[in-house]
Structure 1
Amino acid sequence: MTTNPAFELVVRRHGTSVLRMCTALLGPGPDAQDAWSETFLAALRAYPSLAIGANIEAWLITIARHKAIDILRANHPVPLDELPESAVLPAGLGGLQLLDSLASLSELQRKVIGYHYLLGFPYEEIPAFLGGNPASLRRAAADGIKALRSQHHEAEEES
């Protein structure tokens, strides 16, 4: 009889992928770490009833996506009288303002790029997370990468 691997092994194998997904959706920091923790707590409770041979990484990524959305909903923007000081980008990004560049992409482009390039999912599996079809998601990623390259090229010309 075949069984799913021990949960500790699942955390070791897929912890990085789950953290990448949480960070892609929430940005680096405590919110992404909280979503990671909540993902594995929820997964631990549901793991005994997971079908043998199920795609564990896809299952965890789906849970992570839901946990990240929960955090986004809980932290919805509140109007302020004054704008806070602008965030300081981490050192080492050079002339390319990577965070600004990513923010300029559509939500779909950011998500598809995250699933494909950060997490390594083939385009054929991404519709299970985002809907759509592989061809449209491939096009969204290509358009997003093209926009990032264009912004990078412009930033190099300015420096």
Structure 2
Amino acid sequence: MALKPFENVVTEHGAVVLRVCRAVVGPVDAEDAWSETFLAAMRAYPDLDPGANVEAWLVTIAHRKAIDIVRVRARVAIPTDDLPELPTRIGLPGTWNHELWDALEQLPFKQRASVAYHFLGGLPYAEIAEILGSTPSAARKAGSDGIASLRKTYLPNTIPEGSRS
């Protein structure tokens, strides 16, 4: 079985990788993580086993790029003279929920990554465990804890007052 042309891989999996990057590193750094993911993938693609799970492979690369960005962000101060009065709209119109990112950003990294990789990337917990260097049960627990936190912090803010039970 031969590998598809790389441009087909980008077309097929690009949106999933971008969603995962946005959920893990936020809207500001997502496009950088996405670009770095596909640059690294393009270099390694010719050596990829033709039977490999390409989506899981790409999410693994995106995970590594996201960790790099999180580490750099933790070390670098971002100076500013003035704070904007209103947040800017980052990303494609209508495709990003800043309130969701605010809630995801509050989660510990492993919970955020598990939620992103499972619910946005569609990966099973066994593959998430490989990416995070943990066990499937630990990845499942991190995802479960992350969703439980989001239900407490994000969902109460998105349900209109009159429709809560």
Which band: TM-score by shorter chain? 0.7 to 0.9
| Counterparts of 1:3 and 1:81, CA distance in 2 | 50
Where does residue 58 of structure 1 map in the other structure? 56
- The structure with the largest alpha-carbon Rg is 1
> Partners of 2:24 and 2:49 in 1: how far apart?
27
Q: Could you say if the C-alpha distance between residues 73 and 15 of structure 1 is closer, same or farther in structure 2, counting changes exceeding 3 Å?
A: same
In structure 2, C-alpha distance between the alignment counterparts of 1:38 and 1:102, rounded to whole Å = 22
CA distance in 2, matches of 1:86, 1:34: 26
Could you report, residue by residue, the CA deviation over 1:110-129 in whole angstroms, capped at 9, with x for unpaired residues? 11000110111111221110
Structure 1 residue 97: Cα displacement: 4.3
| Structure 1 residue runs without a partner (length 5+) | none
Partner of 2:144: 142
State the SS of the aligned residue for 2:126: coil
Residue of 42, 45, 50 corresponding to 1:44 = 42
Partner residue, 2:132: 130
Amino acid at match of 1:71: I
Aligned-residue RMSD, C-alpha: 3.0
- Structure-1 residue corresponding to 2:27: 28
Name whichever of 70-79 and 117-126 sits farther off. 70-79
State the TM-score, normalizing by the size of structure 1.
Answer: 0.78
Percent identity for Structure 1 against Structure 2: 47
The answer to whether 1:5 aligns with 2:4 is: yes
User: How many residues align structurally?
Assistant: 154
Equivalent pair of 2:26/2:101 in contact (CA under 8 Å): no
Q: What CA distance in whole angstroms lies between the structure 2 residues aligned with 1:71 and 1:152? A: 24
SS in 1 for 2:87: coil
1:157–1:43 Cα change, 3 Å = closer
Q: Is residue 106 of structure 1 aligned with residue 105 of structure 2? A: no
Q: State the distance in 2 between where 1:25 and 1:87 align.
A: 23
- Partner amino acid, structure 1, of 2:109: E
Deviation at 1:153, TM superposition (A): 5.9
In 1, are the aligned partners of 2:23 and 2:101 still within 8 Å (CA)? no
Does the 8 Å contact 2:18/2:31 carry over to 1? yes
Distance 1:35 1:64 in 2: 7
C-alpha change, 1:153 and 1:72, in structure 2 (3 Å) is: closer
Alpha-carbon contact 2:118-2:124 (below 8 Å) kept: yes
